[in-house]
Amino acid sequence: MRGVWLLLCVLPWLGACASTPGVQVSPAQRAAEVDLVDVGSVVPGLRQEIRYAGGQNFVGTPITGYEAPKCLLLAPVAQALARVQQDVQREGLSLKVFDCYRPVRAVQHFVRWARDPADQRTKAVYYPNLEKASLLDGYIAETSGHSRGATLDVTLVRCMDDDCVELDMGTPFDFFDPRANTAHPSITDEQRRHRAQLVQAMARHGFQNYAMEWWHFTFRPEPTPRTAYDVPIR
């Protein structure tokens, strides 16, 4: 398989790249070619709010590569997520995903935005305590583990029919601030319990939380740890 060689960041919040040569971008342009599946068809009752397919995100505009509001993951990862959903449904809850597989071209869009100091439209909501110039040093990496199809951004919701309310996790999704660290001491006891509930539910089925972001989980072991994808989400 031919592709573009990359060093993928395993600590995207810190902006630190692992020295992991041998990770390449697949030349595939269709999800079926690489076993990326629509998670909504695998996980009954999954709630989805795919932020990067619309304008409600830190860039403030739909992101390149998100042509449809779908959650794609590699098939074994989607099947593991279905088992998490079964568990949380027994507690009267549901999973809600904000992002799943992320094309390489989408990550490149993030980087272009971060390098544009004139665009400050979303500062008050997503990075009120930081200058935009600092985001590339600590928050937005030039490569992402999401592009390997085994990482997702998720929370828990409680639903009555079609009316769902997110559990209070202490910060919104994609809030660039230390308070989003999973174990940050400033959150309330209730918020701490909710974060622990999510982490434990995901961990039971192989998903490891990234300590800098309460919403960020990666399935271990990754099915394709040395392959990233640039398949558009359609």
Residue 202: which CATH number?
Answer: 3.30.1380.10
Question: Which residues span the domain enclosing 61?
Answer: 5-228
Helix pair 75-89, 189-203: axis angle to 10 deg: 130
Whether the link from the prior residue into 221 is cis, omega within 30° of 0, is yes
- Domain annotation covers residue 15: yes
Q: Of 164, 141, 147, 127, which is closest to residue 66 (Cα–Cα)? A: 147
Q: Is 111 inside any structural domain?
A: yes
Q: Do 105 and 65 form a contact (C-beta atoms < 8 A)?
A: yes
Options 49, 131, 166, 213, the catalytic residue: 213
* Domain presence at residue 183: yes
Is 213 annotated in the active site?
A: yes
Q: What is the pLDDT along the chain (234 residues), one digit of tens a residue?
A: 333 333 333 333 333 333 345 779 999 999 999 999 999 999 999 999 999 999 999 999 999 999 999 999 999 999 999 999 999 999 999 999 999 999 999 999 999 999 999 999 999 999 999 899 888 876 787 888 999 999 999 999 999 888 899 999 999 999 999 999 999 999 999 999 999 999 999 999 999 999 989 999 999 999 999 999 999 999
Flag whether 73 is in a domain.
yes
Residue 162 inside a domain? The answer is yes
Structure tokens, 214: 């309460």
Question: Does a structural domain hold residue 233?
Answer: no
For residue 198, the model assigns a pLDDT of 98
**pTM of the predicted model as reported, rounded to 2 decimal places:** 0.89
In a domain, 234, yes or no: no
For the chain, the domain total comes to 1
